[in-house]
């Protein structure tokens, strides 16, 4: 299992909306994440809009590719895309570049 961390940036004027949307992530979206290998997946939102994701997965590329094929993910991204900054034409899940792990203690 690999431990993946990614960052994105939420628009400062959309923090509250981001929080609200993520209180009720659709069950079918949660199920799709589980089925495509997103485990122990947490998202953190800093006051300045920095968004941090942490998950454990066998293969992150496969997990992202798996979600990209799901219809529910397209619908979810359509809802959440306006909340992000600077995606430069990419979908949020295409911008989740893994950050270098420099330390780990089990």
- Interaction of residue 99 with a second copy, rule CB under 8 A: yes
Could you tell me if 10 and 85 are in contact, meaning their C-beta atoms sit under 8 angstroms apart? yes
Q: Binding to a second copy by residue 85, rule CB under 8 A? A: no
Q: Which of 18, 72, 77, 93 binds a second copy (CB under 8 A)?
A: 18
Which of 2, 3, 19, 22 is an active site residue? 22
Min dist. Cβ of residue 69 to a second copy (A): 19
CA distances from 103 to 29, 41, 54 (A): 31, 19, 14
Among candidate residues 51, 47, 2, 48, the one with its CA nearest the CA of residue 22: 51
- CA nearest neighbour of 84 among 53, 60, 63: 53
* H/E element, 4: strand 2-9
The yes or no reply on residue 77 touching a second copy (CB under 8 A) is no
Residues interacting with a second copy, by CB under 8 A? 3, 5, 7, 18-19, 22-23, 25, 30, 33-34, 38-46, 50, 52, 54, 99-106
Residues classed as catalytic: 22
């Amino acid at each position: 299992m690999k431990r993946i961390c990614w960052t994105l940036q939420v628009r400062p004027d959309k923090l509250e909306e981001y929080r609200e949307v993520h209180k009720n992530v659709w069950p079918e979206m949660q199920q799709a994440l589980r089925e495509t290998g997103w485990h122990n997946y947490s998202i953190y939102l800093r006051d300045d809009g920095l968004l941090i994701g942490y998950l454990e997965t066998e293969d992150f590329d496969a997990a992202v590719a798996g979600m990209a094929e799901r219809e529910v993910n397209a619908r979810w991204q359509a809802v959440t895309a306006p909340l992000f900054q600077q995606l430069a034409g990419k979908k949020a899940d295409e911008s989740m570049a893994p950050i270098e792990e420099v330390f780990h203690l089990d």
